[in-house]
């Protein structure tokens, strides 16, 4: 079974702090994704990556950056956390067959981030 793990289930940070959210997958998937999930808005794509050191902006990249130094690990960085970044953050990975981004995605359990 594919396993996607996220470093924390719950996180509380203060406004202005730098925040790192880590995600690791164990199935040698090419693609990795970061979403945020908010009530009434569903899932919105922040960033995705199709290879080591490669990244692409999603629909709502403002205020976020990412890092993918190793194939299995994809980090989301909030350079200066703000209260409007309080949300559930979900990481996902997919096989990436022939460069496809629409393979089945496998999700981690999520990190609920609260910014005070």
Partner 1 sequence: GNSVTQMEGPVTLSEEAFLTINCTYTATGYPSLFWYVQYPGEGLQLLLKATKADDKGSNKGFEATYRKETTSFHLEKGSVQVSDSAVYFCALGGGNKLTFGTGTQLKVEL
In the bound complex, what is the minimum distance in angstroms from residue 31's beta carbon to partner 1? 10
Q: Which stretch binds partner 1 (CB under 8 A): 11-19, 62-70, 71-79, 108-116?
A: 108-116
* Cβ atoms 26, 43 nearer than 8 A: no
Token pair in block for residue 36: 């945020």
Between 58 and 63, name the residue whose CB sits nearer to partner 1: 58
In the bound complex, what is the minimum distance in angstroms from residue 37's beta carbon to partner 1? 8
Site residue total, partner 1 (CB under 8 A): 20
84 three-state secondary structure: helix
Q: Which of 83, 84, 103 is nearest to 93 (CA)?
A: 103
In the bound complex, what is the minimum distance in angstroms from residue 16's beta carbon to partner 1? 29
Q: 87 forms bridges with which residues in the sheet?
A: 113
* Cβ atoms 94, 75 nearer than 8 A: no
Q: Which stretch binds partner 1 (CB under 8 A): 14-22, 62-70, 73-81, 99-107?
A: 99-107
Q: What letters, b where the CB count within 10 A reaches 16 and e where it falls short, cover 77-101? A: ebeebeeebbbebbbbbbbbeeeee
Q: Which of residues 11-70 bind partner 1 (CB under 8 A)?
A: 40-43, 45, 48, 56, 58
The contact set with partner 1 (CB under 8 A) reads: 4, 40-43, 45, 48, 56, 58, 90, 92, 101-102, 104-110
């Amino acid at each position: 079974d594919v396993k996607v793990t996220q470093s924390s289930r719950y996180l509380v940070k203060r406004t202005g702090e730098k925040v790192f959210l880590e995600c690791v997958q164990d199935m040698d998937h090419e693609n990795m994704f970061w979403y945020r999930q908010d009530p009434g808005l569903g899932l919105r794509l922040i960033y995705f990556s199709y290879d080591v050191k490669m990244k692409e902006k999603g629909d709502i990249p403002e205020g976020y950056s990412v890092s993918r130094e190793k194939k299995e690990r994809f980090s989301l960085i909030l350079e200066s956390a703000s209260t409007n970044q309080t949300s559930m953050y979900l990481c996902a990975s997919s096989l990436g067959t022939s460069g496809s981004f629409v393979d089945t995605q496998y999700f981690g359990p999520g990190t609920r981030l609260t910014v005070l």
